[in-house]
């Protein structure tokens, strides 16, 4: 976007005065932010409109990314960067006497996701727009995002996240595009004009789905795609039927709050309502769009791709069938062909407890027509496969079984592509978790290793590192991240290595200022910063990290004069409110922090910082300051991980199990540049199969580990009587499901190697540089290119993208 500083200052000041009718000098940062956001939205609205029109007029194929979560983070800076006016605006604001960073901070972080899956969706939206690909997001506009986390006496307390309190400058409400979503009622057959009997719905509850659109600004390419989030309202003509506040509330509830759980499927009707609400609204809006093209239904899959992000939107399959059958009068065969060719599905988990399944009666009652369609999909699926695969295999793949509708089965049967999110994860899907389906549909399965947008996670989060890279290898890497590898040429350049060290130190100082001001914890920026940031889960093994910290603490206590590498252990993690074990681990970490941070003898040698309310904005502060990246999940459990990629990109060295995308990180950066430890996936499987794992024996025979574990129950760590006991028992007596005791020694050894290497700054910085330079392949731009070419079959609308 062309914008001079002079013009910006004039136009922005004018916008401010138009909005507020007073002088900008007397305004608050929030008002300045609001005016600036509005100003930017006005500035790109023309391109937004043009992008839309181009897609329609040229009838290009488009993808619709259906996701129940999007976690975009603050948008002001990223929009400025992508519009190409970050420096102009920043300078202009300084001239106006305003504080840019304060303005940035007044944007509330939209917490419309739990973690990895939602953040991935947002990285993908950035890449889709930046590559000039015709793509749209479809999701829910939650009135309240993921809860705000507070610690009270070390315990997690959840407060509502009223992210819309000050409004949302980026969204545009489009009541002209509202659609009706129907729940409940009955299905009857009524004779249609052509004499056929046609399913008709009676006594349904009709909900108005109102879209709020947000522009997804492409990186300096004039492309503005659309993210459409739906809000539930009472249709004005139905107001008369709502007599009590409780009845009205039931409607608002649908889009009131995000489910704060990413591991335990709960069979809650409200969640099913949410899922149908946004998929039905999305499908209807796609259909409305398609009708404008005037093309025949047979061409639908040539123009539309619909992607199902995990099973949450998999009702898109029967919903598209319903529309094609009941509203557009297609035959089952025609509708099914179109649906399968249109839909593709990504799986994000191997955890059984996170696999969605809905009680038959619930689906029948809430979505009677959809249930009929699913039944018929299932009947035909079984009928077709029975003779080919025999009854055992075939019935294991049934969509309706054991009283439930199995959403993953529906998603696989109803789409043409099924992908995992890292090489190892896809292997596990094919050969283990989804093997029955792999036998039936080998060609559907493919891998798409996750990626991250380097624009947010490097250009914006780490401007100094970006400048250093620019000064060494030029700026081509910004549009072709593969070029980052050119940075390897500086592996022996002392000046570059020193600069890397200085940049890291400055980022650590920034984080230290945060912990001091916001948490009252002083940390030494010269200490090694060791970071584990992700949702709290037993399988992610934050607890293994804790055992290592206790081991260090004991060492220091045994010999207070010990020369040990000072470390700061940084945690950021929310636990699902109903996940009590995870919450007990939070309490344990906080109690341990309390003990260690206040122990004079320990001093600077060891500190624990557990940041409250971890989210995208905190990640942007922590990641550039990180030196060690903890990716220590039990092998075979983490589908991919994406913080591993962000940390590597910012020069942290990874300590890892061979799990998720860590395997590919190892492949790209080389075994010498990260620290591997622990069981691999095969070994875990064997131990699980032959039942030969006895943690109690390890406890009894490993004196050091015994000492460490005993601190959980012997009063060493104050105020964790209950939690300490539960955690101790889970490890020692209840079979240590995630093999912490088994991996303990090897983890400690890897940590010792880290300490040792850190003594040699040059060598450390060399490995750091290798990590930065090897992270290009994890750019979401590449991931999205593969989705576009291999699954969605959509083309970039930029003329020079393939040059
Ligand atoms: C059904 C409900 C309980 C549910 C809600 C959210 C289940 C799962 C989720 C979210 C899952 C999620 O975030 N998975 C993560 O996806 C990332 C992106 O692919 C992966 O990197 C990460 O390994 C995986 O845990």
Distance 710 CA to ligand 1 centre (A): 34
Q: Does the annotation count 53 as an active-site position?
A: no
Closest CA to 140 of 284, 273, 278: 278
Q: Which of 33, 23, 121, 128 is nearest to 76 (CA)?
A: 33
Looking at 733-794, list the stretches that DSSP marks H as alpha helix, in order from N- to C-terminal side. 740-758, 761-773, 780-786
For 146-160, 187-201, 288-302, which range has the lowest pLDDT when averaged over its residues?
A: 187-201
What's residue 195's pLDDT? 85
Over residues 97-119, the mean pLDDT reads 97
* Geometric angle at alpha carbon 646, from 220 and 91, rounded to 5°: 40
Cβ–Cβ under 8 Å, residues 320 and 281: no
Q: Which two tokens stand for residue 238?
A: 């139905």
> What are 536-593's pLDDT values in tens digits?
999 999 999 999 999 999 999 999 999 999 999 999 999 999 999 999 999 999 999 9
Which one of 422, 639, 645, 665 would you pick to mutate in the ligand 1 pocket, going by the greatest count of ligand atoms within 8 A of its CB?
639
Query: pLDDT tens, 514-523?
Result: 999 999 999 9
Specify the 3-state DSSP secondary structure of 156: strand
Instruction: Quote the ligand 1 centre to 118 CA distance (angstroms).
Output: 8
Residue 343 Cβ inside 6 Å of ligand 1? The answer reads: no
CB 342 within 8 A of CB 63: no
**Average pLDDT score over the chain:** 97
113 lines ligand 1 (CB under 6 A): no
220, two tokens: 């300096």
Residue 1 binned pLDDT confidence (cut-offs 50, 70, 90):
confident
Q: For residue 61, what pLDDT is reported?
A: 98
β-bridge partners, 179:
209
Summarised one tens digit per residue, pLDDT across range 641-689 is 999 999 999 999 999 999 999 999 999 999 999 999 999 999 999 999 9
For ligand 1, atom 6, name the residue with the nearest CA. 262
Q: Which residues pair with 140 in a beta bridge?
A: 230
pLDDT over 90 percentage in the chain: 98
Share of residues in the chain with pLDDT > 70 (%): 100
Q: Could you identify the atom of ligand 1 that is nearest to the CA of residue 266? A: 3
**pLDDT computed for residue 799 by the predictor:** 73
Distance, in Å, from the CA atom of 260 to the CA atom of 147, rounded to the nearest integer, reads: 7
Confidence at residue 108, expressed as pLDDT on a 0 to 100 scale: 98
Q: How far apart are CA 429 and CA 345, in angstroms?
A: 13
Q: Is 681 in the pocket of ligand 1 (CB under 6 A)?
A: no
* pLDDT one-digit tens code per residue, 269-287: 999 999 999 999 999 999 9
According to the model, what pLDDT value does residue 801 have?
A: 43
**Can 646 be counted among the known catalytic residues?**
yes
Q: Which atom of ligand 1 is nearest to the CA of 661?
A: 21
**Are residues 644 and 661 in contact, defined by beta-carbon separation less than 8 angstroms?**
yes
Q: Closest by alpha carbon to 413, among 434, 388, 429, 432?
A: 434
Q: Which of 409, 456, 504, 540 is catalytic?
A: 540
The residue-averaged pLDDT of 466-484 equals 97
Q: What are the phi and psi torsion angles at 488 (to 5°)?
A: -60, -25
HEC string for 401-440: ECCEEEHHHHHHHCCCEEEECCHHHHHHHHHHHCHHHHHH
| 3-state secondary structure (DSSP) of residue 202 | strand
Question: What CA–CA distance (Å, rounded) separates 691 from 594?
Answer: 38
Q: What digits encode the pLDDT tens for the residues 170-221? A: 999 999 999 999 999 999 999 988 888 899 999 999 999 999 999 999 999 9
Pairing label, strands 224-233, 675-676: unpaired
Ligand 1 in contact with 348 (CB < 6 A)? yes
364 is catalytic: no
Mean pLDDT to the nearest integer, 736-745: 98
Taking residue 748's Cβ as centre, other Cβ atoms within 10 Å add up to 18
What are the φ/ψ torsions at residue 188 (nearest 5 degrees)? Answer: -130, 165
Give the residue, by CA position, lying nearest to ligand 1 atom 9: 262
* Ligand 1 centroid distance, CA of 638 (Å): 9
- Span 484-502, average pLDDT: 98
Distance CA 552, CA 708 (A): 9
Q: What are the residues whose beta carbons fall under 8 Å from the beta carbon of 626, sequence distance 6 or more?
A: 529, 530, 531, 570, 647, 650, 652
Ligand 1 centre distance from Cα of residue 263 (Å): 7
Question: What is the ipTM score, two decimals?
Answer: 0.99
Nearest ligand 1 atom to alpha carbon 115: 13
Residue 254 near residue 232 (C-beta atoms within 8 A): yes
Given 535, 574, 587, 742, the catalytic residue: 535
pLDDT of residue 196: 82
Q: Is the CB of residue 86 less than 8 Å from the CB of residue 119?
A: no
Is the pLDDT at 25 greater than 80? The verdict is: yes
Q: Which of 795, 778, 764 is nearest to 500 (CA)?
A: 764
**Ligand 1 pocket residue status of 114, Cβ below 6 Å:** yes
Q: Flag whether pLDDT at 162 surpasses 50.
A: yes
Domains of the chain from N-terminus onward: 1-58+75-108 (no CATH), 61-73+110-448 (3.40.50.2000), 454-476+492-772 (3.40.50.2000)
**Ranges of H-type helices in 218-323:** 245-252, 269-293, 300-303, 316-322
Please say if 341 is a catalytic residue. Answer: no
Active site residue 540: yes
> Among the options 311, 449, 466, 642, which is catalytic?
642
| 265 is an active site residue | no
Q: Count Cβ atoms within 10 A of the Cβ of residue 434 and give its class: 0-12 exposed, 13-18 middle, 19 or more buried.
A: buried
Q: Is the CB of 349 under 6 A from ligand 1?
A: yes
Ligand 1 pocket, 639 CB below 6 A? yes
For residue 471, name the pLDDT band (cuts at 50, 70, 90): very high
Q: How far is CA 183 from the centre of its chain?
A: 29
Catalytic residue among 41, 574, 646, 767: 646
User: For a substitution probing ligand 1, which of 68, 116, 577, 645 has the most ligand atoms within 8 Å of its CB?
Assistant: 116
Token pair 């450390």 is found at 764
């Amino acid at each position: 976007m062309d914008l001079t500083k002079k013009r910006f200052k004039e136009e922005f000041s004018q916008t401010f005065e138009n909005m507020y009718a007073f002088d900008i000098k007397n305004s608050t940062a929030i008002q300045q932010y609001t005016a600036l956001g509005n100003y930017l939205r006005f500035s790109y609205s023309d391109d937004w409109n043009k992008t839309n029109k181009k897609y329609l007029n040229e009838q290009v194929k488009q993808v619709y990314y259906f996701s129940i979560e999007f976690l975009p983070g603050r948008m002001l800076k990223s929009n400025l960067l992508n519009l190409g006016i970050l420096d102009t605006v920043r300078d202009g604001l300084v001239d106006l006497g305003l504080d840019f960073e304060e303005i940035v901070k007044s944007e509330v972080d939209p917490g419309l996701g739990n973690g990895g899956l939602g953040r991935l969706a947002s990285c993908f939206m950035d890449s889709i727009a930046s590559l000039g690909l015709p793509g749209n997001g479809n999701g829910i506009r939650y009135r309240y995002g993921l809860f705000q986390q507070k610690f009270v006496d070390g315990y997690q307390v959840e407060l509502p996240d009223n992210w819309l309190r000050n409004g949302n400058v980026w969204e545009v409400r489009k009541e002209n595009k509202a659609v009706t979503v129907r729940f409940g009622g009955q299905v009857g057959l009524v004779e249609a004009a052509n004499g056929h009997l046609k399913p008709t719905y009676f006594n349904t509850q009709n909900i108005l789905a109102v879209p709020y659109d947000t522009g997804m600004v492409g990186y300096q390419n004039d492309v503005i795609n659309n993210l459409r989030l739906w809000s539930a309202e009472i249709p004005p003509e139905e107001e008369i039927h709502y007599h009590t506040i409780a009845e009205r509330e039931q409607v608002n509830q649908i889009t009131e709050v995000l489910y704060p759980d990413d591991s335990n499927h709960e069979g809650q009707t409200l969640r099913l309502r949410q899922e149908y609400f946004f998929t039905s609204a999305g499908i209807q809006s796609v259909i409305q769009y398609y009708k404008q093209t005037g093309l025949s239904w047979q061409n639908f899959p040539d123009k539309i791709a619909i992607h199902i992000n995990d099973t949450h939107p998999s009702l898109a399959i029967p919903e598209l069938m319903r529309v094609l059958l009941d509203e557009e009068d297609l035959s089952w065969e025609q509708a099914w062909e179109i649906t399968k060719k249109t839909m593709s599905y990504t799986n994000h988990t191997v955890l059984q407890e996170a696999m969605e399944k809905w009680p038959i009666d619930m689906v029948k009652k809430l979505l009677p027509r959809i249930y009929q369609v699913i039944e018929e999909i299932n009947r035909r699926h079984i009928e077709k496969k029975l003779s080919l695969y025999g009854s055992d295999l075939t019935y294991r793949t049934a969509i309706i079984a054991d009283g439930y509708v199995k959403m993953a089965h529906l998603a696989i049967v109803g789409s043409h592509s099924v992908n995992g999110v890292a090489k190892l994860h896809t292997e596990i899907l094919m050969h283990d978790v989804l093997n029955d389906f792999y036998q039936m549909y080998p060609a559907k399965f493919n891998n798409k290793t996750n990626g991250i947008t380097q624009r947010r996670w490097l250009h914006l989060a780490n401007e100094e590192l970006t400048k250093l890279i620019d000064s060494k290898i030029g700026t081509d890497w910004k549009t072709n991240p593969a070029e980052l590898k050119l940075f390897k040429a500086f592996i022996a350049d002392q000046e570059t290595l020193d600069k890397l060290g200085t940049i890291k130190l400055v980022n650590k100082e920034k984080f230290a200022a945060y912990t001091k001001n916001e948490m009252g914890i002083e940390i030494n920026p010269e200490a090694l910063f060791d970071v584990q940031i992700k949702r709290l889960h037993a399988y992610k093994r934050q607890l293994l990290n804790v055992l290592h910290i206790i081991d260090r603490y004991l060492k220091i206590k045994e010999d207070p004069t010990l020369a040990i590498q000072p470390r700061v252990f940084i945690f950021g993690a929310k636990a699902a409110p109903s996940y009590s074990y995870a919450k007990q681990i939070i309490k344990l970490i906080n109690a341990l922090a309390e003990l260690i941070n206040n122990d004079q003898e320990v001093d600077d040698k060891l500190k624990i910082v557990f940041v409250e309310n971890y989210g995208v904005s905190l990640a942007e502060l922590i990641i550039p300051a990180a030196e060690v990246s903890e990716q220590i999940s039990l092998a075979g459990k983490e589908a991919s991980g994406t913080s591993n990629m962000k940390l590597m990109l910012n020069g942290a060295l990874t300590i890892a199990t061979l799990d998720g995308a860590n395997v590919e990180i190892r492949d790209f950066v080389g075994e010498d540049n990260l620290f591997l430890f622990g069981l691999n996936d095969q070994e875990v499987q064997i131990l699980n199969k032959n039942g030969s794992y006895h943690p109690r024996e390890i406890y009894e025979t490993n004196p050091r580990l015994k000492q460490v574990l005993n601190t959980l129950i012997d009063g060493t760590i104050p105020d964790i009587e209950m939690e300490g006991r539960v955690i101790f028992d889970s490890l020692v007596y209840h079979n240590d499901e995630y093999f912490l005791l088994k991996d303990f020694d090897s983890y400690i050894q890897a940590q010792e190697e880290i300490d040792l290497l850190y003594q040699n700054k040059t060598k450390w910085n060399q490995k750091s540089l290798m990590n930065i330079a090897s992270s290009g392949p994890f750019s979401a731009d590449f991931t999205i290119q593969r989705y576009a070419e291999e699954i969605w079959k959509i083309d970039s609308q930029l003329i020079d993208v393939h040059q």
